Amino acid sequence: MTTGSDATRAVIRVVLVDDHAMVVEAFRRLLETARDIEVVATVGTAADAVVATVQHAPDVVIIDYVLPDDDGAVAAARITAAMPSVRVIMLTGSDDPQALRSALAAGCVGYLEKTGSHDRLAAAVRAVAAGGTVISPDDLQRLHAAGAQTPPTADATLTLREREVLLMVAEGWPNRVIAERLFLSVNTVRSHVQTILEKLDAHSKLEAVTVARRRGMLGGGG
């Protein structure tokens, strides 16, 4: 029997993109054990990823970094350009910092390594669907260790309020929750986020958090 809370819970629609059938099937089964997640399509190429996203209008796309016809980050960039409301999580089997850089530039809001991602995938889907970001401290550390430094600029100085918003963004909170906790309107939070992106020369919340950590703006980043 469906309870009232189950009936009103929004189902998160997901498109899975990976050219390995066994991997796709494993992730599909994993996600569909959750009542609030539905896999609406599985495809194996970058081109099909864009087509499936436009066709099914999912909430979240989970895409492999290495695809047979193109870079997964290229497909992610096309997806975010065509449908900005879609949240993209990049999966990778490599610890190469370039994969993370490419994901950030493509507008991905989540970044997970395939190894060990099974336990975190459903939680990551929920987090990004709610407006949050997902990236591990280990990945951020690898990026920093690889020397991916972003020179600070004069206009990158954040106000106290912007730092408060950025800290909550870094914790994965969506705009709605940030607004509630800081006693602001959602529109005001969106405005702060946009200003933060501009000041940090970032294309997404995830990239802004990464840049801020590299500059030591959030503590423990440099």
pLDDT of amino acid 134: 87
Place of tokens 């939680």: 123
Per CATH, the homologous superfamily of domain 10-144 is Response regulator (3.40.50.2300)
- The model's pLDDT over 43-54, given as tens digits with 9 standing for 90+, comes to 999 999 999 999
CATH fold for domain 149-214: Arc Repressor Mutant, subunit A (1.10.10)
Of 9-13, 37-41, 94-98, 114-118, give the lowest mean pLDDT range.
114-118
Q: List where CATH 1.10.10.10 sits in the chain.
A: 149-214
- The model's pLDDT over 33-43, given as tens digits with 9 standing for 90+, comes to 988 999 999 99
Q: List where CATH 3.40.50.2300 sits in the chain.
A: 10-144
Please state, in angstroms and rounded to a whole number, the distance separating the CA atoms of residues 89 and 121.
9
